[in-house]
Amino acid sequence: MDEEAVVARVTAWTKHRYPTCSVAREKVQFIDLSAISISGKLLTMEDKSLTEHVQIECKGTQKAKSTTMQLMYSALGQTLTYYITSDKIPTFLAVPTDYKKLETLKRVIEELDLPIGLLLVPEDGELLVMREARGTPWTRTLSELATKASK
pLDDT of residue 64: 59
Specify the long-range contacts of residues 134-139, CB closer than 8 Å, at least 24 apart.
134/88, 134/90, 135/83, 135/88, 135/89, 135/90, 135/91, 136/88, 136/89, 136/90, 137/51, 137/52, 137/53, 137/54, 137/89, 137/90, 138/51, 138/52, 138/86, 138/87, 138/89, 139/49, 139/50, 139/51
* N-terminal to C-terminal alpha carbon distance within the chain: 39
pLDDT of residue 38: 81
pLDDT of residue 65: 60
pLDDT of residue 151: 60
Mean pLDDT by 10 residues, the chain (151 residues): 91 92 76 84 67 92 73 92 93 93 94 97 92 93 70 60
Q: Are 54 and 89 in contact (CB under 8 A)?
A: yes
- Highest CATH level, class, for 3-150: alpha beta
Q: Are 135 and 142 in contact (CB under 8 A)?
A: no
